[in-house]
Amino acid sequence: MLGYLSLLIGGAMLVTLPWSFALCGQTPTVEMVALRGMLKSIGVAAATGIGLLIAGRTSVGDSLLRKEALAVVGLGWILSGILGGLPYLLTPTYRIAGVPMSACDAIFESVSGFTTTGASVLTQLEIPEGYPNCEVAALRGQIAYVPRSVLFWRSFTHWLGGMGIIVLFVAILGQLGAGGKALMRREVPGPLTDSVRPRVRETALLMWSIYLGLSAVMAVVLMIQGMDLFESLCHTFGTLATGGFSTRNASVGAFQNGGLEFTIVVFMILAGMNFNLYYVLVRQSGDHSKHPLKDRLIAFFSDPELRTYLTIITVATAVLTFLLSFGNVYDNIGTSIRHACFNVVAVITTTGFGTEDFAVWPEFARAILLLLMFVGGCSGSTGGGVKVIRFIVLWKVLKLEAERAFRPNLVQPIRIAGNRLDDSVGRDVLVYFCLIGVIFATSWATLIALEPATQWQGETSAEKLIDCAGAVASTLNNIGPGLGICGPHGNYTAFSEASKLLLTLLMLLGRLELFAIIVLFTPGFWKVQ
């Protein structure tokens, strides 16, 4: 299975090749060198896939059990991150001027793409205006140039990881039976697995069809609003996957276009919603007698997680608008609403696009955004974070336990949308919150210890604490921009190699919701029963 997955990653790189010729009139040599690097990357991925297929040929036909499914998902994402990092190493891609990408940088950027985190070590995505001899300077590393094919691959990894490379794997391969269902349960985010239906390949195909349809619509709308094909596709990938990689140094803010920002906000909200709800809208749409549109819309908007998700966005936007307006951050309330709404949606959906540097906003506004980092989108969405449904379940569990404090004999099940939840769901949610808290605290302390004091020279220790907390929160919740040096107008290039590896691990933990990665470090997991 890892062999087939490697071939899938290599095949996905083929879509980047045409973009190598996009700038032939300006920097043909750089783009042709990048083309050769992409071809080498495809060759390595293909060779890896063939080697793994040969090594595992005797297991063809064996059933896929729970442990194997966990191993395939966890190891598959790690392998995808390594193979996806090859284009950064084998092409003339520079992290900063004169400093090429290291293996650690490449894996960080690749995993950030696949996990839809959007954290980056690249400092210069555009050629500086008026720079002389761009072709020679780019080849010599005098400017931190990113070839067009690599830039496209960087965004395309978002799109692949958004709906899930394992879900795509199941949709394409198909003949997995119960094993396919086990794989999808490990990758589809959220504590409730009702989105994984008995006909697992049909579910995978339907989810990817919806995802592809939304992507096509958004790309067309962005082109109508003035983006070229390349940038519209890249920003579509970053939006629908809730990833946040942009083609501009200043992200979406570089366009200074309110219409574009509105379009991206709408599709970020759609991407942060449970894709199972879209199934409710499109199911048997041809049979109006059984499923009229009115009933399907009622079922769609009556979902408690969706209502809570939209309520959080509305309330947080209103509060931030008030803080930005009366804090004299912006001149008028219209501008305050525009930037408050965009950044609230970008953070809660874990997209991470930026229009403004919220790291310089009032402290209370930044605190709200930091809390929203942990909320995330809905279960079954492309968004990261803890997920709204877990907060709903947590609230119901705490409320029930508080009532049992004075009514110890109370027997009352927890219900979501009228459906009774197993007691195990409440327990799993509590365990998940505890693990998130432990991982956050441990990683925060470790990052502070790993980073040398010279990294924050001239700044206070409090700023170092906040910067490290923001980096951990943003990578663990797959958001991308954090606070301080890794804020919307910053990046992660200054962190040490060891810190980048830690943050890479946090991205994987957040995307796969902990256990598919944690079990790989559990000795008992590898024991043959």
Judge contact between 263 and 221, C-beta under 8 A. yes
Average pLDDT rounded to a whole number, residues 421-445: 89
Lookup: tokens for 468 = 């490290």
Pairing type for strands 94-96 and 415-416 reads unpaired
* Whether the Cβ atoms of residue 246 and residue 264 lie closer than 8 Å to each other: no
Domain positions in the chain: 2-216, 425-526
Selected residue with higher pLDDT from 51 and 73: 51
**C-alpha 101 chain-centroid distance:** 22
pLDDT for res 363 = 86
The burial of 56, by beta-carbon neighbours within 10 Å (0-12 exposed, 13-18 middle, 19 or more buried), is given as middle
- Confidence check: pLDDT of 221 > 80: yes
How far CA 68 is from CA of 6, 310, 528, in Å, comes to: 17, 38, 11
Give the pLDDT mean for 384-406: 87
Q: CB–CB of 187/164 below 8 Å? A: yes
Reduce the DSSP state of residue 96 to 3 states and report it: strand
Q: Is 419 helix (H, G, I), strand (E, B) or coil?
A: strand
Q: What is the pLDDT of residue 268?
A: 95
pLDDT of residue 196: 45
| Backbone dihedral region for residue 98 (phi beyond 0: left; psi -120 to 50: alpha; all else: beta) | left
How many residues in total does the chain contain?
Answer: 529
- How does pLDDT run across 318-372, given as a tens digit for each residue? 999 999 988 878 888 999 999 999 999 999 999 988 888 787 788 899 889 888 9
**Residue 30 scores a pLDDT above 80:** no
Which pLDDT does position 83 carry in this prediction?
97
pTM listed for this prediction: 0.89
pLDDT at 260 over 60: yes
**What's residue 52's pLDDT?**
94
CA distance 216 to 224: 13
Query: Is the model more confident about 337 or about 135?
Result: 337
SS (H, E, C) 427-477: HHHHHHHHHHHHHHHHHHHHHHHHCCHHHHCCCCHHHHHHHHHHHHHHHHC
Min mean pLDDT across 7-21, 151-165, 327-341, 417-431 is at 417-431
Asked if the model's pLDDT at residue 25 lies above 80, the reply is no
Encode 400-418: b = buried (16+ Cβ within 10 Å), e = exposed. Answer: eeeeeeeeeeeeeebebee
Across the chain, mean pLDDT equals 83
Is residue 402 scored above 80 in pLDDT?
yes
User: By C-alpha distance, which of 447, 506, 249, 265 is closest to 357?
Assistant: 249
Q: Binning pLDDT at 50, 70 and 90, where does residue 172 land?
A: low
Residue with tokens 């501009």: 248
Residue whose structure tokens are 């996806």: 84
Per-residue pLDDT tens over the stretch 110-122: 999 999 999 999 9
pLDDT above 70: percentage of residues in the chain: 84
Tell me which range, 33-37, 87-91, 173-177, 184-188, is most confidently predicted by mean pLDDT.
87-91
- C-alpha separations of 51 from 7, 46, 212 in Å: 10, 9, 31
Query: Contact 117/506 with Cβ under 8 angstroms?
Result: no
DSSP 366: H
- How far is residue 170 from each of residues 69, 166, 520, measured CA to CA in Å? 12, 6, 22
| pLDDT value of position 198 | 47
Flag whether pLDDT at 396 surpasses 60: yes
Q: What is the DSSP string of 181-229?
A: HHHHHHHS-SS--TTS-SSHHHHHHHHHHHHHHHHHHHHHHHHHTT--H
- Please give the pLDDT value at position 186: 58
Mean pLDDT value across residues 374-398 = 88
Distance CA 112, CA 108 (A): 6
Residues 149, 155, 159: CA angle, nearest 5 degrees: 125
Helices (H), 376-422: 388-404
pLDDT at residue number 344: 95
Tokens of 76: 């598959």
Residue 445 φ/ψ, nearest 5 degrees:
-65, -40
Q: pLDDT class for 200, splitting at 50, 70, 90?
A: low
Q: What is the pLDDT of residue 419?
A: 77
Question: Which residues, in sequence order, are bridge partners of residue 415?
Answer: 420
Which stretches does DSSP call E strand in 283-367?
none
Give the model confidence (pLDDT) of 453-491 as tens digits.
666 555 555 677 888 888 999 999 988 887 777 877 778
Residues 61-86: tens digit of each pLDDT? 666 777 887 888 889 999 999 999 99
User: Which of 104-108, 216-220, 457-461 is least confident?
Assistant: 457-461
Give the CA count within 13 Å in the CB-facing half-sphere of 460: 3
CA–CA separation, 353 and 376 (whole Å): 14
Report residue 347 as tokens.
């953070």
Q: Which residues lie closer than 8 Å to 363 by C-beta, 6 or more apart?
A: none
